[in-house]
Each structure stands twice: as C-alpha cells, then as structure tokens.
Amino acid sequence: MDQFLLQSIWLVPCYALAGAVLSVLWFPSVTRLTGPRPSGYVNILTTFLAFLHGLLALPAVWNQPAQQFFFPWLNVANLDLTLPFEASALTVGATILITGLNLLAQVYAVGYLEMDWGWARFFALLALFEAGMCALVLCNSLFFSYMILEVLTLGTYLLVGLWFNQSLVVTGARDAFLTKRVGDLFLLMGVVALLPLAGTWNFTELAEWAQTADVNPTVITLVGLALIAGPMGKCAQFPLHLWLDEAMEGPLPSTILRNSVVVATGAWVLIKLEPVLALSPVVMAALVWIGGITAVGGSLIAIAQIDLKRTLSYLVSAYMGLVFIAVGAGQSEAALLLVLTHAVAIALLVMSVGSIIWNSITQDITQLGGLWSRRPVSGLAFLVGTAGLIALPPFGSFWALLKLADGLWTTQPWLVGLVLLVNGLTAFSLVRVFSRIFGGQPHPMAQRSPEIHWLMALPMAILLGVVLHVPIVLQAFSLLPAWADLNKDVALLLLWSSIFGCSLSAVVYLGSAIPKPVQFPWKPLQDLLSYDFYTAQIYRMSIVVGVDLISRITSWIDRYLVDGFVNLVGVATLFGGQGLKYSTSGQTQSYALTILVGAVLVGCLVMWSS
Amino acid sequence: MQLQYFLVLAAALFCIGIFGLITSRNAVRVLMSIELMLNAVNLNLMAFSNYLDAQDIKGQVFTTFVIAIAAAEAAVGLAIVLAIYRNRDTVDMEQFNLLKW
C-alpha cells in the first residue's frame, strides 16, 4: 500500500489541480444559486487528499534511497525532455509541508473571506499554487523547475491582483509579476546556457557533473550569476525585493502561503543548484553578499514599518537572505532546515496578524494596543511564532541558525556576526510589533476588537501546535545535533542576541520611559528605513525613466522612420500615378509620337545588343 | 544615281510625313501626311526592286498594292473625318481628346 502510494506520488500536484479545475464550475451564474462557498470546500477536500497522500507515502520512502520516475514529454532530434520525478524523504516531506500549510490557509480563508464573493477564483488560485509548488519539489529537472516557476509567477500576479478594483492592488500585482519576470529571464538564460556545458538538466546528474566538471571559470561564473537571478527575484532579495512588500495588498490567506512557502520556491531551486554554483567562487561570494545585504537591510527596514503586514514582509526577505548566505557558504542542509522552520513560524505570524487585521478597524500598529486581554489566542500565536522564528531554544529556527552559524564559525567568522545581528534585529522587530499591538493601553481604534471565530482560530491553533513541535519533529528526523557536538559558544551567542533584541525592544516599546512614536535622533536614517531605502524612488528615477525614454524613442523611430519609409513608397507611387496620368493627353497625335519614339528606341536597342 | 540617294530621299520624305502627322492641327492635313509617308515607302520599294531585284521586281507588285490600299485608306479616313465633323463641327485635332486622363 505504501509502495503504491509512493509510486503514485505524482498524483499529489494533480489533486490540487483537479480542485482548481472544479472551482471553475462556480462561475457567476452558479454562484448566484449556490453561494461561493462550495468551491472552497471542494478545494479544501482536494488539498486534504493531497496532504493525506503525502503523509501516507512518507513511511515508504523513509530512510530509503530516492526513487526516480520518468515521464517522457518531448523527444526530438538530440533533445530529450523527460520529466523526472524524485520521491525521497525530503521531497515528500516538502509536499507535506506545502499541502499542510495550504490546508490550514484554506480553512483560515473560509473564515477570513466570509463576506467575499470571489471564492472560486481565490481557492482555484491557491490550489494552482499548491499544485505548482508540489510539482516543483517533486520534479528533479532544472528545465521543468523553470517552467513551474513561471507558472507560479503568473499565479502570484493573479492572486495578488484578486481585488482588482483597487489601484494599489493593481500596481502591486504588476510589480510582483515584472520583478519576478526580470529574475526569471536571467534564469532562463542560465538554464539554456547550462545545457551545452553539462549536457543535462537533471539535478542529480548536474550534481554528479559538477564534481568533475572542467569548465572555463568566466563562463561558469556568468552562468552561475544568471542562475541565481531567478531565486533572487523569487526570494525578494535586494535589489528585487520591492514586490513582496507591495504584494501585501493581496488577500491575507494567500500571504500566509506566499511568505512561508512561495518565496521559498526560489530557495529550493537555489539549494538544488548548489553544486553547480559552487563551481565558481565569485558566484558563492555574490550569494553571500546579496543574502547579507538583504538580511541586514530587510531586518532594519522591518523595524521602521508601521503597517502590520509589512512589518512581516521584510523579515521574510531577511530570512531568505540567510538562506542565500547558507547556500553561498555551501551549507545546503542548514538552508533547507531554515526554510522549514521559517515557513511554519512565519505562517503562524501571518495568521496571527491576519486575525488582528480581520476585525480591527486599522492595520496601523501605532493605532492598535492593549489587545492582550481580549485577544489571548492571537497574542499567544504571535509569541510562539516569534519564538519559532528567532533563535530561542528549544524552538525551530534556533537549530537552523545554530547549524548555519556552526558551519560558518570556522570558515567565515564574520558571517556569524551577521547572523547574530539579523537575529537580534528580528527579535527586536517582532517584539516591537507585539508590544505595539498587545501591550500598553488600547487606542480608540482598537477598542472594539473581539477574539476571532473558530474557523480562523482552529488553523491558527493547529499551526501553533506544529510550531511548538518542530523540535520534536526535527529530533524524529534526527536533525538535531547531539549534546556533545553542540557548539556551545555559538548557541550561547545566538541565545544572547535573541534575548538582547527582545529585552531591548520590550524596554523601549512596553515601558513608558521613551515617548511613542519613537523618534530616532537622526531623522534622515529613520526616513531612509521607513521609506524602504527609497528603493521605489530609485527605481522610478532610473529604470522606469530609462524604459519610458527608450520606449518613446523606439515609438518615434517606428512611427516616423519605419512607417515613414513605407508610407513614402505609397505616397511616391500615388504622386507618380498622379503625375504620369498627364501623359495620357487624349490626343491621337501624341500617341503616334510616343509609338514612334518607342519604336525607334526598341530599334536602337536591338541594333546595340546585336 | 545610286540606291542610297533614293533611300535617303525616301527617308527624308518619311520624316517630313511624320512631322506633318504629329504637328498638323487640321485632320485633313494629317491624312495628307500619311499619304506622304506611304509615298516614301513606295519610293523605297521601287528603289529596292530596281537595284536589287531587277528580275522578279516583287517591289513593284508591292507598290501597286500599297497604292491601292492607300487609296482605300484615304477614302475611309476622309469618311471618318467627315463623320467627326458632322458631330463636332470642327476638324481641329486638338479638340478630339475625350480620352484625356
């Protein structure tokens, strides 16, 4: 039975796709009869099936070597595009994570979107995402990963733009699509350039090839840089980070997925490509630098945000930056662990934040406060999410960050300092948000804010339990280091950075010694952070202006030079006809003259040519 | 007396005929110019038949035919001119340009 479930693991993406297709039945006229709800229930059912399938298939592959399945797709000339599926404990586990989080997010959405009529569209898109991500983790080919990433890019566009009658939603969806497309375009270049070098797109074979590869260092550096551009866009790394912030305009239940697993799709491809990227030291350094800048910058920006959802979006960028650092330092396992612990923790944080937004009048954290007494479940979820995200033993991310820092300890000690800094800043930022929402006195805007109903509370509580149990799960997967191997210096440093960040933030934001809102002594720095390093303005002044100018020039050339030339031919013919018609004088004698001249000319021609 | 002189004379006559044909405004003079050109042709035929084909004199036979055809053509031409005149009240060639542009 287990073996059969494993053989049919490719069905996992299909369940979700079936749900998405079934949702199409709820077009407006049907929705008018039945209401939008059945479409949601259908998708929850299919997601549950996918979750169950993965869960039951896991024992069959547990502690077993990875199994490969092949689906021939296109076979022409010397190009053989076969879709390889890999079923290993890792990939099946990833599908369980994805389908599980999606299941919780969908139940949450049933409560969150109670009054919305766009259920069919929303749930179909969530299912599309689920199908895409499951297919991505299962498929073992760079080429098909690229195709799936493109589908997910389109899905992001549609999902962020769900409430398309709001202008900010429209620009957010557009920016998310275009930013990811920029990354994907470079990724495509890398994907295409890799085939002649390696001769394969299969991740396993790529790893084997990379061990003995002998390639021109310049070429492999360029290919590697192109390959990391796609994950950069997906994981919202500097300088392609702005879209994640703007995507917060989308519906919140989709944000749960986006912030936890959708951004991690880029990290997944990156981790899979790590052997290829490791061929070039320049690429590895670039990964570390990009990740480092994003991690520090993102966690700093998060501290200066007052929008409840945006305080979390930059932390996602920052943690993906840590994943970049891990891959850049050659620590794929730490990166995977970080992706896992980050996914569950941030999903819980987003759920908690969503429950606040759902029935408070505002999502501005300066307008909230004092909600602890009336929102204990949400508050508890936020605290547990915080504990799961920062390095606070024994919760999840502590072990991931410990593994990362431990690996960096001997090779690149300065990166350990960076990890500590990011961890401290994240702790500061999350406790700040907690203090502003749940601590202090209730602001008039937050007076009427009861606890949420069970449909949102239940998935939140379940996820809360999952986050608390992450260490036990890690233990079961024997991913925790033994006590003797534990690098106690690093562990203590991480713990201290978390405690320092938390307590400093608590003193500043819970105490009354410092007046709120906190004014930084140096205003330009505060502005720099709260305006996201002015990235939007920089883009507007450089790339947007540049593209605008180029398109204007191109349009002018097209309209006046290219079209002008063709029109000139037409006008010349017209004028030629108009001018030549005067030779038709209607006079017999002029015709006679013409014939004569013509005959003479023909005669001359014949004479000369002979 | 050589063949060339006859040919040059005939050519000159033909040119005069062409000139008259193209420049005359009177339709009758156009017909007369055509007669001139036909005569130039006849001169050519006669000259060639005299110098090159004195035995069979095929040219002279052709000339006879040309004269006959010329007479017939003049008759038809004059009839056409007369028909146009009856309609348009003029024989000015520059008035007959109905097919202009």
Give A68's strand partners: A86
- A198/A345 Cα distance (integer angstroms): 38
Q: How far apart are the CA of A600 and the nearest CA of chain B, in angstroms?
A: 13
pTM equals 0.83
Whether A475 has its CB under 8 Å from any CB of chain B: the answer is no
CB contact under 8 A, B97 and A581: no
Tokens for A566, please give them: 């063709």
The burial class, CB within 10 Å (0-12 / 13-18 / 19+), for A115 is exposed
Q: What is the pLDDT of residue A81?
A: 85
Among chain B residues, the shortest Cα distance to A583 is held by: B101
Q: What is the pLDDT of residue B85?
A: 94
Q: What is the pLDDT of residue A514?
A: 78
CB contact under 8 A, A584 and B93: no
Q: How far apart are the CA of B24 and the nearest CA of chain A, in angstroms?
A: 9
Q: What is the pLDDT of residue B98?
A: 86
Whether A584 has its CB under 8 Å from any CB of chain B: the answer is yes
Q: What is the pLDDT of residue B21?
A: 93
State pLDDT tens for residues A252-272.
999 888 888 899 999 999 999
Question: From residue A181, how far is each of A133, A156, A157 by CA, in Å?
Answer: 18, 11, 11
Complex confidence, ipTM: 0.88
* Chain A residues within 8 A of B94 when measuring between CB atoms: 587
Select the residue of B22, B24, B97 nearest A586 (Cβ to Cβ): B97
CB contact under 8 A, A586 and B93: no
The residue of B15, B25, B100 whose CB has the most chain A CBs within 10 angstroms, and thus the best one to mutate to test that interface, is: B100
Whether A34 has its CB under 8 Å from any CB of chain B: the answer is no
Residues of chain A below pLDDT 70: none
- A72/A141 Cα distance (integer angstroms): 13
Whether A488 has its CB under 8 Å from any CB of chain B: the answer is no
Name the phi and psi angles at A367, rounded to 5.
-95, -10
Residue type, A379: G
* Chain A residues within 8 A of B101 when measuring between CB atoms: 581-582, 584, 586
CB contact under 8 A, B100 and A596: no
Residue A69: in which H helix or E strand, if any?
strand A67-76
Nearest Cα neighbor of A322 from A191, A459, A416 is A416
Is residue A113 within 8 A of residue A253, CB to CB? The reply is yes
Whether A588 has its CB under 8 Å from any CB of chain B: the answer is yes
Q: What is the pLDDT of residue A313?
A: 92
Question: From residue A311, how far is each of A129, A299, A314, A429 by CA, in Å?
Answer: 24, 9, 6, 8
Q: What is the pLDDT of residue B18?
A: 94
Whether A216 has its CB under 8 Å from any CB of chain B: the answer is no
Select the residue of A585, A589, A596 nearest B100 (Cβ to Cβ): A585
CATH T-level topology, domain B3-94: Helix Hairpins (1.10.287)
CB contact under 8 A, B22 and A582: no
- A236/A495 Cα distance (integer angstroms): 27
Strands A67-76 vs A79-87: parallel, antiparallel or unpaired: antiparallel
Q: How far apart are the CA of B94 and the nearest CA of chain A, in angstroms?
A: 7
Q: How far apart are the CA of A579 and the nearest CA of chain B, in angstroms?
A: 11
* Chain A residues within 8 A of B97 when measuring between CB atoms: 585-587
Give A307's strand partners: A364
* Preceding amide of A394 cis, omega within 30: yes
CB contact under 8 A, A585 and B97: yes
DSSP string, A502-526: HHHHHHHHHSSSSPSSPPPSSHHHH
Residue A233: in which H helix or E strand, if any?
helix A217-234
Residue type, A125: L
Residue range B34-56: mean pLDDT, rounded = 94
Q: Cα A101–A103–A105 angle (5° rounding)?
A: 65
- A357/A453 Cα distance (integer angstroms): 13
Q: What is the pLDDT of residue A298?
A: 93
Q: What is the pLDDT of residue A603?
A: 95
Q: What is the pLDDT of residue A516?
A: 73
Give percent above pLDDT 90 in chain B: 86
CB contact under 8 A, A592 and B21: yes
CB contact under 8 A, B93 and A588: yes
Give percent above pLDDT 70 in chain B: 100
- A40/A83 Cα distance (integer angstroms): 31
- A263/A256 Cα distance (integer angstroms): 11
